Amino acid sequence: MRKSNQDCLTDRHLLLFGTIIHWFARYELLMQNMMAAVARTDAASVMLLTRGLDFSGKLRALLDLLRHKTIPLDQFDRISELLMIPHTLTLLRNDIAHSGWIPHKIGNWIQPDWILHFPPSVKPLRADLNVPTPTFTELDQDKVGYSVDELSEVASRLAATYAQLSDYVREIHLIDPGNDS
């Protein structure tokens, strides 16, 4: 097994890693506040009930609750659409939180150094098993790498989508306009 080379991480990488993790925390807090508003309870109670759930678990709980409370379909669709942006980035978030990093074959790119290194004949499948999909995506370690520019784009995309979602749920009165999630 290769040792992670933390020297490949610059201050900019670490800043972007922290920014990405921070945006996920903000999304989770916003989702918990939405659940509290829909359930007509306090946010602290929802936070206690969902504290053991990861991002995907909180997303599933929120969408199930929204369906149960039968909010208008266009609102459900818009909320779901906006939350799919961070949902598609949860694998990166998990790699940031749980992996060492090594230099990638391409220039100044980096890639996660997974704990398990499978022989070339074994290609693990990587997919969120909690979300039904018709196919799995093959994991090819050589194709998983990030440049500083890509990480910066991810952070910007998370921020922009968060602002859209936050504004939208306030606009439809799903959370209190004064709530600063």
Can you give the pLDDT at residue 122?
47
Torsion (CA) 94, 25, 63, 49 in degrees, nearest 10? 100
**Which pLDDT band holds residue 150 (cuts at 50, 70, 90)?**
very high
pLDDT in tens, 13-63: 999 999 999 999 999 999 999 999 999 999 999 999 999 999 999 999 999
pLDDT at 139: 46
Q: What is the pTM of this model?
A: 0.80
Task: Report the residue count for the chain.
Answer: 181
- Residue with the bigger pLDDT between 26 and 4: it is 26
Grade residue 100 by pLDDT with cuts at 50, 70 and 90. confident
Distances (CA, A) of 40 to 76, 107, 140: 18, 52, 45
Q: How many angstroms separate the CA atoms of 99 and 87, rounded?
A: 19
pLDDT tens for each residue of 65-97: 999 988 899 999 999 999 999 999 999 999 999
Surface-to-core class of residue 83, CB atoms within 10 Å of its CB (0-12 exposed, 13-18 middle, 19+ buried): buried
Element (H, E) at 110: strand 110-113
pLDDT at 1 over 50: no
Does residue 168 carry a pLDDT above 80?
A: yes
pLDDT, tens digit, for every residue of 126-139?
544 444 444 444 44
Name 169's Cβ contacts closer than 8 Å, sequence gap at least 6: 30, 34, 79, 175
Q: Please give the pLDDT value at position 81.
A: 97
